[in-house]
């Protein structure tokens, strides 16, 4: 047994917690996620820190919010080629700390934090997606420092690479990040037998509600199309089969008992819920609906983490780094911009007297959220519209109470807490509160200007998405 456990960190792309059997959906087939949950702990209330992929992934890695690490949107520019830029340069990721403490770190899948051709932050094994999404078959991946077309279905290819990494590093300790692009669009090109298996599904878990007044162009292309729901469900089920391959391989190699397995998604997703398709940038203004900010989170380590447990503890992506490092007995960096709180008591099944006082904070550019167990307040700088939801009596977030006279004191309190928290943890040069982050993608790290005076974000609401961008998985609804 290695001195410290191995770690397999599995992260999917655009998977709401509703899209898994163990979260109560009896229409979608996820037997291996259900198996993983049965062997460990499932969180009911786990949140991304920004409901879009690159920003969320940066928060998992660094333990910081977007206004501290500077990634506020999906990365549109600087992924590959002569303009490639490492967006997390100068930041400390937990993988840097693991590598410095004897872990061999491997990446199999999506990076999408810039400079995809270059291994970064402690990773010595690097099989990275060219960008952040695109065709599921014959995709471009970085192997041995070069872009190569990888034949076949990309979810399976990522798993194949991950299994090879496990074989090569079985002596441990190792950290393996398996970063699937599934179930992100496009919802075509998935195994046809799995697609066909959902032909008669009623999709009651994805009601195609009347179109949201703020819905983006993805909704117009996808709303009410059964074949797209089949594709989304098939992407999840195909990915689940590969999670099963990972778990089986760990067991066959005799490594399962010495391996911490984590499963999460980068952000939630709506497939017609609330009348739109997408995540935080599925609407404009961007949204903070539960389906956008909540993600599945399952953690399993036999004989250490109690099996078959469910917790209602509120936790965020920025809590993951302090939790993991405490679990491994490693120190956190000395950095005042790390807001996270370890949720080790929840992992160990222990009572945590402070759990009910936990408050979740989210941001997406100038849109910020504070969420308690009972209430959610969303403040859009500078002029709104702002939102207040009573999550106890209105869990579906249908009735905005922000203009209710009897809620004025509550709003003042929540806004004060929100602004105090962000004042404490933002970096002044990376603060997103006055940035034009509109969901169209980030063009470069913060700092510096184009010759025309524009900054790192496009100054448009919605623009027409070209067929080439759609095929590449880009555009407004991109990762």
37 and 131 fall within a common domain: yes
Position 370 confidence tier, pLDDT thresholds 50, 70, 90? very high
CA distances to 13, 252, 427 from 401, rounded to whole Å, are 32, 54, 32
Q: Is residue 453 part of a domain?
A: no
| Helix/strand/coil for 314 | strand
pLDDT of residue 440: 87
266 and 380 fall within a common domain: no
327 and 379 fall within a common domain: no
Q: Is residue 23 part of a domain?
A: yes
Residue 399 reports pLDDT greater than 50: yes
* Domain boundary, last residue among 354, 383, 411: 354
Q: Is residue 459 part of a domain?
A: no
What's the whole-number average pLDDT of the chain?
92
Residue 351 reports pLDDT greater than 70: yes
pLDDT of residue 454: 56
Residue 187 structure tokens: 């919802």
Over residues 179-187, mean pLDDT: 97
67 and 181 fall within a common domain: yes
What value does the CA radius of gyration of the chain take, rounded to a whole number of Å? 21
* Domain boundary, last residue among 303, 327, 354: 354
A 10 A CB-CB count for 434 gives 10
Q: Is residue 75 part of a domain?
A: yes
CATH number at residue 210: 3.40.720.10
149 and 18 fall within a common domain: yes
341 and 373 fall within a common domain: no
Position 352 confidence tier, pLDDT thresholds 50, 70, 90? confident
pLDDT of residue 447: 66
231 and 370 fall within a common domain: no
Position 197 confidence tier, pLDDT thresholds 50, 70, 90? very high
The reported pTM is: 0.94
Over residues 81-92, mean pLDDT: 94
Number of domains in the chain: 2
CATH number at residue 377: 3.30.1120.10
* Domain boundary, last residue among 354, 376, 411: 354
**Domain span holding position 397:** 357-438
Residues in the chain: 479
Cα(first)–Cα(last) distance of the chain, in Å?
A: 38
Could you tell me if residue 358 is left (phi over 0), alpha (psi between -120 and 50 degrees) or otherwise beta?
beta
Q: Is residue 444 part of a domain?
A: no
> pLDDT tens digit string along 254-269?
999 999 999 999 999 9
Q: Is residue 468 part of a domain?
A: no
Cα 468 from Cα 253, distance rounded (Å): 43
pLDDT of residue 411: 98
316 and 380 fall within a common domain: no
pLDDT of residue 458: 58
**Does residue 382 have a cis peptide bond before it, meaning omega lies within 30 degrees of 0?**
yes
Could you tell me if residue 70 is left (phi over 0), alpha (psi between -120 and 50 degrees) or otherwise beta?
left
pLDDT of residue 455: 61
What is the residue whose two structure tokens read 């993988």?
A: 95
Q: Is residue 194 part of a domain?
A: yes
Position 460 confidence tier, pLDDT thresholds 50, 70, 90? very low
Q: Is residue 169 part of a domain?
A: yes
Tell me the residue ranges of DSSP E strands in 240-398: 259-265, 270-271, 277-278, 294-300, 309-316, 360-364, 367-371, 375-380, 387-390
324 and 379 fall within a common domain: no
350 and 361 fall within a common domain: no
Residue 472 reports pLDDT greater than 50: no
309 and 379 fall within a common domain: no
Least confident residue range of 100-109, 170-179, 309-318, 436-445: 436-445
Position 444 confidence tier, pLDDT thresholds 50, 70, 90? confident
35 and 176 fall within a common domain: yes
């Amino acid at each position: 047994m290695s001195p410290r456990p191995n770690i397999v960190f599995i992260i999917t792309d655009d998977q709401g917690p509703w899209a898994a059997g163990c979260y109560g959906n009896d229409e979608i087939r996820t037997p291996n996620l259900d198996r993983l949950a049965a062997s460990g702990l499932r969180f009911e209330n786990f949140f991304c820190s920004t409901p879009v992929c690159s920003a969320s992934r940066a928060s998992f890695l660094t333990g910081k919010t977007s206004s501290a690490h500077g990634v506020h949107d999906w990365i549109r520019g600087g992924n590959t080629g002569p303009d490639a830029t490492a967006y997390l340069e100068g930041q400390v990721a937990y993988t840097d700390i693991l590598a410095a403490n004897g872990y061999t770190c491997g990446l199999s899948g999506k990076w999408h934090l810039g400079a995809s051709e270059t291994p970064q932050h402690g990773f010595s094994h690097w099989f990275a997606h060219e960008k952040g999404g695109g065709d599921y078959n014959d995709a471009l991946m970085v192997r041995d420092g070069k872009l190569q077309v990888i034949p076949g279905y990309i979810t399976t290819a990522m798993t194949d690479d991950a299994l090879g990494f496990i074989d090569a590093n079985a002596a441990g300790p190792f950290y393996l990040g398996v970063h699937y692009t599934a179930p992100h669009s496009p919802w075509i090109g998935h195994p046809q037998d799995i697609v066909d298996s959902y032909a008669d599904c009623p999709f009651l878990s994805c009601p195609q509600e009347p179109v949201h007044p703020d819905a983006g162009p993805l909704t117009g292309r996808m709303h009410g199309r059964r074949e797209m729901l089949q594709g989304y469900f098939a992407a999840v089920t195909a990915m689940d089969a590969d999670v099963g391959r990972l778990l089986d391989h760990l067991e066959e190699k005799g490594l399962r008992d010495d391996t911490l397995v984590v499963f999460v998604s980068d952000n939630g997703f709506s497939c017609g819920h609330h009348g739109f398709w997408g995540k935080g940038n599925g609407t404009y203004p961007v949204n903070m609906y539960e389906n956008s900010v909540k993600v599945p989170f399952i953690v399993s380590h036999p004989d250490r983490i109690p099996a078959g447990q469910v917790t209602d503890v509120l936790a965020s992506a920025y809590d993951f780094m302090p939790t993991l490092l405490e679990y491994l007995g490693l120190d956190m960096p000395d950095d005042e911009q790390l807001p996270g709180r370890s949720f080790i008591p929840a992992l160990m099944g222990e009572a945590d007297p402070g759990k009910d006082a936990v408050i979740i904070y989210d941001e997406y550019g100038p849109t910020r959220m504070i969420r308690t167990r009972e209430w959610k307040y969303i403040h859009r700088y500078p002029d709104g519209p702002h939102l207040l939801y009573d999550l106890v009596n209105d869990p579906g977030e249908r009735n905005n109470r922000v203009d209710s006279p009897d809620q004025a004191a509550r709003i003042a309190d929540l806004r004060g807490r929100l602004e105090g928290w962000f004042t404490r943890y933002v970096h002044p040069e990376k603060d997103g509160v006055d940035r034009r982050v509109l969901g169209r993608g980030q063009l470069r790290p913060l700092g510096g200007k184009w010759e025309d005076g524009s900054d790192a974000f496009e100054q448009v609401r919605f623009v027409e998405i070209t067929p080439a961008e759609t095929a590449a998985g880009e555009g407004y609804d991109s990762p």
